[in-house]
Chain A
Amino acid sequence: MNEPNLNPDPDAMLDGLFARARVQRPDTTAAEYAFETRLMARLREKRLQDSESIWATVSWRLAPIFAACVIGLVVWHSEVVNELEAAEQLVYVANPNTFERWNGLD
């Protein structure tokens, strides 16, 4: 005598589950309520954040330029100081009395 089939075709079982799941679609009516309002609020917030982040990005991108300017100023300043010191030494060598007079050492 044939035994009843206790292990049905797994593909058929899966198809049956899919069919049942298709029918039982989640109800999203409550979730959809006033969705546009929430979305618009988020968009406004995001636009504000984006405009702030643009300034932050621009600032960071300009940072190397500012750093280069500072380095250039430091180098220029040290060169000017060196030239002044050299000029002072020349003046001193040429005429020590004048130099001392300038400095009030006389």
Chain B
Amino acid sequence: MLGYPNAMVTAESSIPDEQLVAATLGGDEAAFGELAQRYKSRVFGVASRFARDAAELEDICQDVFVQVYFKLRQFRRDSPFEHWVLRITTYKCYDYLRKRRRDKSGISVDALLESGYEPSAPESPPAHPDLERLYAALAQLSPKERLVITLLELEERSVQEIAGLTGWSVANVKVRAFRARAALRKLLESKK
């Protein structure tokens, strides 16, 4: 079971998710709007850990909900709707990391910082210099390492949860987390 801070929101709402999903599949746009409103905070919360700026954050979140909408028929009701949405969010964030990696391969942490790279959304408070170095170092990791370390350390997901979100095995998640941590340590030590 995934442990999300606002997991009770669904229970508090009058219409259950399953009913809204069925209504959306029946062509009710407003029902999907309600679902988007219900889960946008969680999607934005996760995506903000990966997005470079507000524009990219908006793009990721829109892509997530567009995919949710068009793949809604594939949603099997054996797990909560929220898990399915967060799995799509994780895949989308990973896609964006891979795209970005292709654009920015071979740039050092210092070069990233000097180029005016913004490690987090511009609305966030100015980060401590150490944190900026951490974000810049995170940006240097491979997409898989970045994904796993962000979910594990910043989003505080368990290894089992990450395995569920990414579709990787538990052992694979552990190995990737170990490698990510080692790579991060090395990057930060080299820039002291």
A residues apposed to B, CB below 8 Å:
10-11, 13-14, 17-18, 20-22, 24-32, 35-36, 38-40, 42-43, 46
Complex contact A11–B66 (CB within 8 A): no
What interface size band does chain B fall in?
A: 35 or more
Residues of B whose CB lies within 8 Å of any CB of A are: 29, 32-33, 36-37, 40-41, 44-45, 48-49, 54, 57-58, 61-62, 65-66, 69-70, 120-121, 123-125, 127-128, 130-131, 134-135, 153-154, 156, 181, 184-185, 188-189
The 7 closest A-B pairs by CB, nearest first: A26-B124, A28-B44, A26-B48, A18-B153, A26-B121, A17-B134, A36-B33
**A18–B151 alpha-carbon span in the complex (Å):** 11
Q: A14-B188, A39-B36 are in contact. Are A46 and B66 (CB under 8 A)?
A: yes
Across the interface, do A25 and B185 meet the contact criterion of CB distance under 8 Å?
Answer: no
One of A11, A21, A27, A36 near B154 (C-beta < 8 A):
A21
A28:B57 contact, CB within 8 angstroms:
yes
How far is it, in angstroms, between the C-alpha of A74 and the C-alpha of B148 when the chains are bound?
63
Q: Which residues of B contact A17 (CB under 8 A)?
A: 130-131, 134, 188
* Chain A positions within 8 Å of B131 at CB level: 17, 20-21, 24
20 more A-B residue pairs beyond the given contacts A17-B188, A31-B61, A35-B40, with a C-beta to C-beta distance below 8 A: A10-B185, A14-B188, A17-B131, A20-B128, A20-B130, A21-B134, A21-B154, A24-B124, A25-B45, A26-B120, A26-B123, A26-B124, A27-B121, A27-B125, A28-B41, A28-B45, A36-B37, A38-B58, A39-B33, A39-B66
Q: Given the complex of chains A and B, what is the CA–CA distance between A30 and B37 in angstroms?
A: 14
On chain A, the residues within 8 Å of B54 by CB distance are 30-31
List A contacts of B36 (CB < 8 A).
35-36, 39
Residue of A nearest to B185 (CB): A10
* Selected A-B contacts with CB under 8 Å, 19 pairs: A14-B184, A14-B185, A18-B153, A21-B135, A24-B131, A25-B45, A25-B124, A26-B48, A26-B49, A26-B121, A27-B121, A27-B123, A30-B123, A32-B41, A36-B33, A36-B40, A39-B36, A42-B62, A42-B66
